[in-house]
Amino acid sequence: MIEYTPSLNVLFLSLFLAFSAARAQGQCAGKVSSPGDVADCAARETPREGTAILDPLHPYTLAELIEVAEHHNPSTRTIWERAKQKARELGLAKSAYYPELEGLAVFGDERLINPFPEPLAPRGYVMVEIPLVRPEVTLQYLIFDFGKREAGVDAAKAEKLAAGADVIQVNQALAFHVASAYYQLMTAQERLQAAQDTLRTAQTTQDAAENRLGNGLATLPDVLNARAETAQAVFDEESADGDEKIARVTLTEAVGADPSPNIVIDSQRSAPLPERLTLSIDALIDRAMENRPDLMAQTLEIRSAEARIRAAKAEYKPQIVLSGSVAQTSVWPASDYGQLGSASEPTWSATLGIRWRIFDGGIRKNELLIAESKRREAEDELTAKRDETTREVWTAYIAFRTALRKHDAAVALLESANSSYSASLDAYKYGVKNLVDVVTAEKQLAQARLSSVSARSELFLEAVNLEFATGNLLRNQPPATKLQSQDAHQ
């Protein structure tokens, strides 16, 4: 029997422990505590540029590959920038609480005709020219607006947190995608190993047939049949080799590197398998409702929509605005008749006004109706997402339990097929059975090997899927499955 290589320990140690190093580098990836932490991190940091460069001689662990992907995969870089933008939008909303100060410098020259009585001005008017220099500072300060700015800040805060939750969701989806590609490559490597073992089995059968033919105990058709089975095994091996190289290309693309088969992953043999669930289906659903970042983001979208409604209602109410200016006004007027004095004096103005929009043609009404509709839309989307989450958890739960039973059946099938082939081959060598029986047992053994590979790989992948469906990837909570070796380590 052959040994197979996937390791759930690699996955859990990678996803639950190994990402502290990535966070220490200041990256918004890996293990995270809350959407707020991620949003704050995204506001401070800038993602790395360029595609990932993989060392074709270094055997990469799953932890290393996920770290590389979170730094270089375009999906994480895109969502990172969106989170950064939402953080800046919160800053824009908060800036409405501050006054606006503007500086203005006016340089002018004006010529006027001023009517004047004829006894004093022979022409009945005088020409006046006024050069002007006035540096000025103006202030606009919204003192009170019945909660419009507060609602805008609340909406921006909710959207910033929702962006942080989206980053977590994308990171988890990417970790799941990379883990799936990682285990698919391991599966392809195991299938290649199984194909090579099947080729050796076919060669053993062919050698036995040719030996019996040389001793006059078999016919030529028996040898030709055995050679055909060997040729088929060679074909299957070449096909498995191609699939293994394609799986390498898929993995390099998933981590954000240029697609290429030049990647090596670590190989850990005799890894423990998941043997059972640690949580009931109700507990798994509760964990998903609490941890799923897409549900967090949708809840925050509802909070943002409610804040937008408050802001729209505040538009119906007046605003109290303080306005003022201070300037140094300098003039040197000159007249064609008489003499005018120059001046350079500080000037100022201050007003406290109430601004109230009485009629706007329905703008505020429609803005309020749109905001209320968006809230209802967000609530309906949350309901749909909760139903979808429940379905996904149930599906992952059933699939994992099915994978457990399939793996047990595959182990029994492989043991039986091994015994059947060995017995048939021995019986054929002693002339008790014919070659047809041996070839049939050989085919059954080859199918059992592939079934064992598929069942074992499926068990690991369904364990990963269960963590992803419950929102537990990249988190500190214990996994939902228990490994076979845990009792021995306690």
Residues 6+ apart with CB under 8 A from 17: 31
The closest alpha carbon to 162, from 474, 464, 381, belongs to: 381
- Terminal Cα-to-Cα distance of the chain (whole angstroms): 30
Pick the most confident of 79-83, 377-381, 469-473.
377-381
pLDDT at residue 20, as a whole number: 33
Q: Is pLDDT at 97 greater than 80 in this prediction?
A: yes
Mean pLDDT computed over 4-31: 40
Mean pLDDT, residues 124-134 taken together = 87
DSSP notation for 171-193: HHHHHHHHHHHHHHHHHHHHHHH
Q: Region 476-484: what's the mean pLDDT?
A: 83
Pairwise CA distance, residues 151 & 367, whole Å: 14
pLDDT at 283 over 70: yes
> What percentage of the chain reaches a pLDDT higher than 70?
90
pLDDT of residue 340: 80
Q: Could you report the per-residue pLDDT of 249-262, keeping only the tens digit for each?
A: 999 999 888 898 98
Q: Looking at the predicted structure, is the pLDDT value of residue 46 above 90?
A: no
Higher-pLDDT residue of 11 and 106 is 106
Task: Kindly report the average pLDDT of the chain as a whole number.
Answer: 85
Q: Is the pLDDT of residue 487 over 80?
A: no
Q: Name every residue whose Cβ is closer than 8 Å to that of residue 407 and which is 6 or more positions away in sequence.
A: 273, 455, 456, 458, 459
Tell me 56's DSSP state.
T
Q: Would you say residue 5 has pLDDT above 70? A: no
**Whether residue 123 has pLDDT greater than 70:** yes
Residue 271 pLDDT grade (very low, low, confident, very high; cuts 50, 70, 90): low
Percentage of the residues of the chain whose pLDDT score is greater than 90: 42
What is the rounded distance in angstroms from the CA atom of residue 8 to the CA atom of residue 13?
8
pLDDT above 50 (res 489): no
Per-residue model confidence as pLDDT tens digits over 134-187: 999 999 999 999 999 999 999 999 999 999 999 889 888 998 999 899 988 988
Please state the rounded mean pLDDT for residues 193-211: 88
- Give per-residue pLDDT as tens, 406-427: 999 999 999 999 999 899 888 8
What pLDDT, in 10s, does the model give residues 436-469?
Answer: 888 888 888 888 888 888 888 888 889 989 999 9
- Which has the closest alpha carbon to 285: 395, 389, 382, 403? 389
Give the pLDDT score at 269. 56
CA distance 147 to 256: 46
pLDDT of residue 270: 60
Res 22: pLDDT: 35
Residue 112: predicted pLDDT: 87
- Buried/exposed 260-288: b ≥16 CB within 10 Å, e otherwise: eeebebbeeeebebbeebebeeeebbebb
Quick: pLDDT tens for 296-349: 999 999 999 999 999 999 999 999 999 999 999 999 888 877 778 888 989 999
Residue partners of 365: CB distance under 8 A and separation at least 6: none
Out of 196-205, 336-345, 389-398, which region has the weakest mean confidence (pLDDT)? 336-345
Higher pLDDT, 6 or 272: 272
Other C-beta atoms within 10 Å of 231: how many? 13
**pLDDT above 60: residue 25:** no
pLDDT at 181: 92
Mapping DSSP to helix (H, G, I), strand (E, B) and coil, where does residue 292 land? Answer: coil
- Highest mean pLDDT of the ranges 22-36, 280-294, 428-442: 280-294
